Chains A and B, each alone.
Chain A
Amino acid sequence: MNVSNAETWLHGINPSLKLGVLIVLCIVALFIHDLNYMMNITIGVLILFLFFTGHSIKRILLLSIPFCFIFISTSSAMILFGQGETLWFEWGLISITEESFMRGLLVGFRALFFAALGLTFSLTTRPVNLFYSLMQQVKLKPKYAYSFMAALRLIPIMMEEFQTIRNAMKVRGFERGKGIRSVYFKMKSYSIPLLSGSIRRAHRIAVAMEAKRFTDTRDRTYYYEFGFSKMDHGFILYFIILLLAGFYLSIQFPLVSI
């Protein structure tokens, strides 16, 4: 899997700070019930997502597909079946009212906001950097940080093993089994070797780490050191301005009138 890309200013933001801002923004978004305001700040995040992650626009659009789907599915449920007074359209169970339409859009934009924010974060943050920064800024125990990083290494290995097991099952005439019993059987035959392999591998990695004198003390040095810079101020400022300007614009120049 090749996900190399150019580095942008978003990569330079302190990862812990980035994570913190992201969590705060998600909580704030939960309390926004004004559609115009929600739309404005979603656009602000989409700008970061579309233009500042350093990934090609093709990959960005590809990654957006599932989130457009989330947007449509979350909002449409609310739009089609929600309750309201001003009726626009009715057909059987489906009734679209003005209130349900607006609330539907609000829920949809909120979902889009979470998705864009999360993707922007993960596209601009290497897991290794995140854990190093968490150890340094948030004082996460090295034990947890390094075990997460080691676990990330196991994922591609497991994917390869899964392919091998599939081929092996083909050889044994596995595909020919039918019915529920066979489904249960299949699940068992895939998961047991995969799990046992991973557990054994994880144990070996753990022993190898301790053989390299890994201990859970905090007085270790770091290959990557993370601090704060002007860019971090800029990052926070961006969102403060976004929240304020979004609020102002939603009142002065609402995109939709409610």
Chain B
Amino acid sequence: MEPIVSVEKLRMKYPGDESLIFKDLSLTFDQGEKVLLLGPSGCGKSTLLQVLSGLIPNSIEVPMKAEKLKCPSSWGYVFQDPDSQFCMPFADEEIAFVLENLSVPKEEMKEKIENQIRNVGLNLGHTSIETLSGGMKQRLAIASVLALEPEVLFLDEPTAMLDPEGTKEIWDLLKEVGKDKTVIIVEHKIDHVLEFIERIVLLNDDGQIIADGPRDTILSLYKNEMREHGIWFPGVWDEYIQKYAPTREHQFTDGLPLLDVQGFSGFRNKEEKIHVEELKVHSGEWIVIRGENGAGKSTLLHALMQFIKTKGTYELLGNPIKMVKNPTDHMTFVFQNPEFQFVANTVYEEIAYSLRIDKRPQQEIDERVRSLLKVFRLEAHRDKHPFQLSMGQKRRLSVAASIVIDKKIILLDEPTFGQDSKNTFALLEWFEEYRRRGITVIMVTHDEHISKNFATRIWTVKGGNVISDKNIAQAGFVETKVKRSVM
């Protein structure tokens, strides 16, 4: 059978880079195949997907050469970022945009748009895309791709920015709509993908194919390679927990609480968005904040950091928050997108920044920065601009820069989001080490494994209220319910 997509002896190189991304790579796909491309981050999987679809070099100009390249005539591409794949403000207009590109007559558009939107389980007409959740945006993206009536679907980590719930839903949908199509997938979080695909192509750091074959064979034979490359293969957490069991002991309960809030509310645009009846936080705790998207988890962190207006009692280290001149002297915050935090031109200066503002002596700065560079494995990049780092490195740098001056409390918003397993475990181990030194870690995360294995305490947020507060000691946990309040 003639393959539907194929490439032979592909060679390409990013301008300015010294080495080739791909050297003589050959790959073919048959009609109806469901294939997963796996590899360490930065190995060029997404680039390969773009070459196979023809986006490179037609839309993205990268010098490349291939002895033979066969791109499908009808294809659709789903990207990872829900916010940057639409060009129109309303949902129906976005699908209309695709139909216009295909020169579908205006009379047929309305019906087709309704069909596509219904197909992906959405129920919207003329709805502003801005008001949709991430999961709904990805659904809409799939709907607009399906409007192309593609034979081949390229999926580039379509759920990288979604929570576990959304991830599952999107994959369920993709399985349904991709049934009789050729589907080529790049994805890190593979638990939902595995039952859908039949073939895995495994790449290494240098963009070479190290294995290509049926799913089960690859999964059983190449576990070591996958572990090494930080791929989230099934069972990676269990393996990790057997090797590294966090103690979750909690020895700092006596003494003053670090944070003490009572009848505390946070406001956005004058609307109460989060309410806490009563919570006390002690040193050495690892608190995970759980809840659905939009429940108010991040808002709670923002309220504690005083990014937004708050009311009620809030004491930081025994002082009313209004009397604390700079709450950031005692707490620090790591944002979901590390890029927003960078202020300096080099990795070294980035970490040194807060120390310089604090007017510490040069020698101390140097020592402190060097030790952090080492701990966070960034020594080799000390003179690079922060924006030149990979996503995992950026995340590590943002953490390092935030904790360079010892703070009593670290607040984190989805710190392990979109990270491979290696980076995730490394970050968690650092947090655990800080926690043992008596620093309190408060993090918003969707990752069940973190709440199960690292947290000493779990807050659940629902509809703008903290509805439960579970204390988990090593020997079972004591549950203390927080009074529910009605907004």
Enumerate chain A interface residues (CB-CB to B < 8 A).
Answer: 128, 146, 149-150, 152-153, 156-157, 161, 164-165, 167-174, 176-177, 185, 189, 193, 196-197, 201, 204-215, 219-223, 225
Contact = CB atoms under 8 A, between A and B. Distances in A.
Interface string B137-157: 000000011001000000000
B101 A204 contact: no
A205 B94 CA distance: 12
Interface in B260-308: 302, 305, 307
A128 B98 CA distance: 15
Contacts of B79: 204, 207-208, 211
Interface in B41-55: 53, 55
B148 A209 contact: no
B148 A223 contact: no
Contact of A225 (B85, B106, B326): B106
A170 B308 CA distance: 12
Given A171-B341, A173-B354, A223 B96 contact: yes
A7 to B, nearest CB: 13
B314 interface: no
A197 B337 CA distance: 11
B343 A189 contact: yes
Q: Main SS of the interface on chain B?
A: helix
A214 B302 contact: no
A204 B85 contact: yes
B55 A207 contact: yes
A149 B343 CA distance: 31
Given A196-B387, A207-B60, A222-B106, A214 B402 contact: no
Contact of B341 (A149, A168, A208, A212): A168
Contacts of B402: 171-172
Given A172-B328, A208-B84, A211-B76, 17 more contacts: A149-B87, A150-B87, A150-B88, A153-B87, A164-B335, A165-B340, A167-B302, A167-B335, A168-B340, A171-B333, A172-B402, A173-B354, A196-B387, A210-B59, A213-B148, A223-B97, A225-B106
The 10 closest A-B pairs by CB, nearest first: A223-B96, A150-B87, A208-B85, A204-B84, A210-B59, A211-B77, A213-B101, A168-B341, A189-B343, A201-B84
Contact of A213 (B92, B98, B109, B328): B98
A111 B109 CA distance: 44
Interface in B75-133: 76-77, 79, 81, 83-90, 92-93, 96-106, 109, 129-130
30 contacts: A128-B88, A146-B87, A146-B97, A149-B87, A149-B88, A152-B89, A153-B88, A157-B83, A164-B340, A165-B340, A167-B335, A168-B333, A168-B340, A171-B305, A173-B354, A173-B358, A174-B343, A174-B357, A189-B342, A193-B342, A201-B81, A205-B84, A205-B87, A207-B55, A207-B60, A208-B87, A211-B76, A221-B100, A221-B109, A222-B106
